[in-house]
Structure 1
Amino acid sequence: MTAEKKTAILRSAAEAFALFGYKGTTMDQVAKMANIGKGTLYTIFSSKEELFDEVINRAIMKVVRVAQSAISSERSFQENMLAIFDEVMTFRKKSRLLDKLLKEIRIAGTPVVLKAQKKYEEALERFIEHLLQDALQKGEIVPCDTKIVSYSIVQLYIALTLEWNRTRPSLDKEVVKQYINLLLLNGLTLKQ
């Protein structure tokens, strides 16, 4: 199996999960969309969960690349954090896969999808923790436990972008950034 063929299968799987969600996607559908036999698909991925896990891992890597691309050495820690959230929220809105899976979480609470959300959150936490450690070493932020702060930042982000929407109208990304800045970043940043 060539790397190109595996990439094509994963692209088809991502499309199927984006269209039908995790629960609604079958290995049959993925095989048809990838133009391969179902048996061939099972020789590469032993289960739908394994295939989904690989699709999610790739989506998370894309989100991390998007976040990394938002960082500029010309900006302060606080400005970089706001730019990161701006880019991540824009990416998430454009991603049919992430959008569909978030809807599935709200409607069905599918355990496999909840596990994927947790993996996504943990990846963001690790990314932010590294930024916090770097900012701490540079003297840009107050002394803090970077694990606790990265967790808090991500949970506030999740609360404002997902949880809030369950019972209220969605918040604009500028409002989300404003409250992340107000509630967390302002308190972290050393005043000059």
Structure 2
Amino acid sequence: MIANKRQSIMDAAKHAFSLFGYKGTTVAHVAKVAHVGKGTIYTEFTNKEQLFEAVMDELIHDVELQFHNIMERDGRTLDLLHEALYGVLRYRKEHKLLAQLTEEVNVFGTQEAHMAISRVEELILKQIERVVERGANRRRLLVTNPKVTAFTIYKLYMAFIVDWEQNEPPLSERELYDVFKNHIFDGIAIRQP
């Protein structure tokens, strides 16, 4: 029962933060959505900040799991990296909470929302860097600085998934893969004899 109460509050908080952002969400909003009193929320979480952090921890765990599940499959490293990145970045773009927080950062510059988005981006960058390092260690990728390579790949993917779509029709997953294969991946992949 206690776990259900906590999860009910977490679900309500996700919903409230998705609707109102960090700045616009109050503990009263969360309590109303969870159908509990404000005091009940304070028995589980000290304040709104702690509740928001718990929601973000859960979301980050989901992103990490999604990336990990794809990268642990058999297949060509760069193909798996593309699939994982495409999925995670689509998730980041379409997830209501992340979309709301991104909008809040752009409009209000809310520090807490900015830090939450930064946590997600740092996780994605670390995951890409790990894959690039693994490929370099296995002598499948030719990179001198995995961190710079990871940053470059991430920012280019974000540019095509977010910025490109502001003025152009979205690229299909296959079209995006072809762009990266031809312009990036073939440049860092070591050709096996």
TM bucket, shorter chain: 0.7 to 0.9
Greater than 6 Å deviation, 4+ residue runs: none
Bigger CA drift: 84-93 or 170-179? 170-179
SS in 2 for 1:70: helix
Other-structure match for 1:172: 171
CA contact (8 A) 1:85 1:177 kept: no
Q: Aligned AA for 1:172?
A: L
Other-structure match for 2:20: 20
Distance 2:32 2:65 in 1: 30
Q: How does 1:36-115 map to 2 (within 5 A)?
A: 36-71=36-71, 73-115=73-115
1:140 partnered with 2:140? yes
SS in 2 for 1:172: coil
Instruction: Provide closer, same or farther for how the CA distance between residues 16 and 170 of structure 1 changes in structure 2, counting only shifts above 3 A.
Output: farther
Q: Aligned AA for 2:171?
A: D
CA contact (8 A) 1:66 1:91 kept: no
Deviation at 1:72, TM superposition (A): 5.5
Distance 2:177 2:17 in 1: 29
Structure 1 unpaired stretches of 5+: none
Instruction: Provide closer, same or farther for how the CA distance between residues 99 and 156 of structure 1 changes in structure 2, counting only shifts above 3 A.
Output: same
Deviation at 1:119, TM superposition (A): 0.6
Deviation at 1:109, TM superposition (A): 2.3
Distance 1:116 1:88 in 2: 16
Instruction: Provide closer, same or farther for how the CA distance between residues 122 and 111 of structure 1 changes in structure 2, counting only shifts above 3 A.
Output: same
Distance 2:154 2:105 in 1: 17
Deviation per CA, 1:17-62, whole angstroms, max 9, x where unpaired? 1112222211101011112221221233222222112211211111
Question: TM-score scaled by structure 2?
Answer: 0.84
Deviation at 1:170, TM superposition (A): 6.7
Number of paired residues? 191
Distance 2:140 2:155 in 1: 22
Instruction: Provide closer, same or farther for how the CA distance between residues 169 and 53 of structure 1 changes in structure 2, counting only shifts above 3 A.
Output: farther
Structure 2 unpaired stretches of 5+: none
Deviation at 1:16, TM superposition (A): 0.7
Distance 1:12 1:131 in 2: 35
Distance 1:117 1:164 in 2: 20
- Aligned-pair identity in percent equals 29
Instruction: Provide closer, same or farther for how the CA distance between residues 134 and 70 of structure 1 changes in structure 2, counting only shifts above 3 A.
Output: same
CA contact (8 A) 1:27 1:48 kept: yes
Deviation at 1:111, TM superposition (A): 1.4
Instruction: Provide closer, same or farther for how the CA distance between residues 130 and 114 of structure 1 changes in structure 2, counting only shifts above 3 A.
Output: same
Question: TM-score scaled by structure 1?
Answer: 0.84
RMSD between superposed Cα atoms in Å: 2.4
Distance 1:147 1:121 in 2: 13
Deviation at 1:149, TM superposition (A): 1.9
Instruction: Provide closer, same or farther for how the CA distance between residues 126 and 15 of structure 1 changes in structure 2, counting only shifts above 3 A.
Output: same
CA contact (8 A) 1:161 1:170 kept: no
Distance 2:189 2:143 in 1: 10
